[in-house]
A and B are shown apart, each in its own frame.
Chain A
């Protein structure tokens, strides 16, 4: 077997494993969120399907797949049908540059712990997250409904605003690591995680990341009390399921990105790297669920003010401060 085909087979197997794990994680994240939210609100949560309700995600998937897939009258059919796939697809593709392990050996051949180590990995993350906006904006527009359109417009405005804060919050990390590659950024945290040296960047990234994936308290594009369900009001069946899938996959991806940029990625004592990575991702996701149970939704103008008048200026100051410190340390 030539090295080229062996490499291809390894890549395909790795892709399949990562995809299956990501999809399973997203499905069980819905379960975990419902159970945890229920406990935090002193309810029981789903506990009927299987022991402790553990089969609930499978029941949900069967339900979504067998429901009728409706298209509203007057909808822009092709765009309406394709928009959910954009959200789910971009969310899954981002994970391609996230390093999840130190790498392994198989028959004397190294298997890197990442699908693709791009030297511009961080920009790849931003490119895909900025393409994900189209799924929300076009889905809302194509539904031919006031609520969907308002949700789509709000989503587009919110996501392009917070993308700026997200990018600016990561500039100090790139300056400290000296590379855009996520693998290099993990390597740069060999001695200590960046959380210790850049706590402000961490907070800025976490807040704007949660706004970018539209989690409570930033879920204004789908605010139930004003917009029914926002941009996915008119969707049913698995197309609605794809929006949901995209949302939960981005939660896992955001957890992974926080782990890579600030918590040292797969690094940690005693346990194997893969386990450390999942522990860190799990911790970040639990924090996001906890925040959802604790905070109310912002108002739309508050959301925009917070981004443009507080987060972005603070992120710019942070870049200058870290840049000055780095120059001072080098001199």
Chain B
């Protein structure tokens, strides 16, 4: 086993362990911290595979921005720890178990059949320049569609937030 392989398995172990811990914690802030570690581990794996650009995007967007928003909302809401009541355990877990089983089964099938094993891709040497060219020259339409979708979501959030803010400001004026 080479040094890189050892690092790979170590990082993989950390990532999987952190993900499992993130799912099983009942304290939401702890879950967020473990999820950040998991994203960080994934980013290191990308770096190890020769794609520093993707690795840093993973850290900036997932570990840096999205998880901070999660943390922000959890801290603002100060949710009480959620205790499960025993009865409906099967009903709650059955759909998740079925879906996870399907995903796991198809993954095992894919690994056994190995459809792409004949023409292996080279280790992803995605420099920022190559990545940008591929994304904006070949897939510009998809990028535009996705950004339009995000814009719609943004306008929707603005609409929901705005209506509430207006009623909040308007209500004290009616009192006196």
Contact = CB atoms under 8 A, between A and B. Distances in A.
A152 B75 CA distance: 9
A157 B29 contact: no
A76 B25 CA distance: 14
B132 to A, nearest CB: 10
A134 B36 CA distance: 10
B127 interface: yes
A138 B29 contact: yes
Interface string B49-78: 000110011011001110011011001100
Interface size grouping (class) on chain A? 20 to 34
A153 B77 CA distance: 11
A149 interface: yes
B68 A160 contact: yes
B33 interface: yes
Interface string B5-45: 00000000000000000000000011001001000000000
B128 interface: yes
Contact of A120 (B33, B56, B65): B56
Contacts of A124: 56
B75 A160 contact: no
A150 B53 CA distance: 35
A123 B57 contact: yes
B65 A160 contact: yes
A124 B72 CA distance: 23
Given A141-B29, A156-B71, A160-B65, A119 B60 contact: no
A127 B128 contact: no
Contacts of A18: none
Contact of B72 (A130, A137, A163, A180): A137
A300 interface: no
A79 B33 CA distance: 9
Contacts of A156: 68, 71-72, 75
A223 interface: no
A124 B52 CA distance: 9
A123 B56 CA distance: 6
Contacts of A149: 75
A180 B128 CA distance: 8
A130 B65 contact: yes
A120 B72 CA distance: 28
B68 A76 contact: no
B128 A119 contact: yes
A253 interface: no
Contacts of B29: 76, 79, 138, 141
A127 B59 contact: yes
B75 A131 contact: no
A133 interface: yes
Contacts of A163: 64-65
A173 to B, nearest CB: 14
A118 B69 contact: no
A278 interface: no
A138 B71 contact: yes
A120 B128 contact: yes
A126 interface: yes
A123 B29 CA distance: 27
Given A126-B60, A141-B29, A141-B75, A134 B68 contact: yes
Q: Which of A124, A127, A140, A141 is the most central at the interface, judged by chain B CB atoms within 10 Å of its CB?
A: A127
Contacts of B76: 153
Interface of B: 29-30, 33, 36, 52-53, 56-57, 59-60, 63-65, 68-69, 71-72, 75-76, 127-128
25 contacts: A76-B29, A79-B33, A118-B52, A119-B127, A119-B128, A120-B52, A120-B53, A123-B57, A126-B64, A127-B60, A127-B63, A130-B60, A130-B63, A130-B64, A130-B65, A134-B33, A134-B36, A137-B75, A141-B71, A156-B72, A156-B75, A157-B72, A159-B68, A160-B72, A163-B65
Interface of A: 76, 79, 118-120, 123-124, 126-127, 130-131, 133-134, 137-138, 140-141, 149, 152-153, 156-157, 159-160, 163, 180
Given A76-B29, A123-B56, A134-B36, 6 more contacts: A79-B29, A123-B60, A130-B63, A130-B65, A137-B71, A159-B68
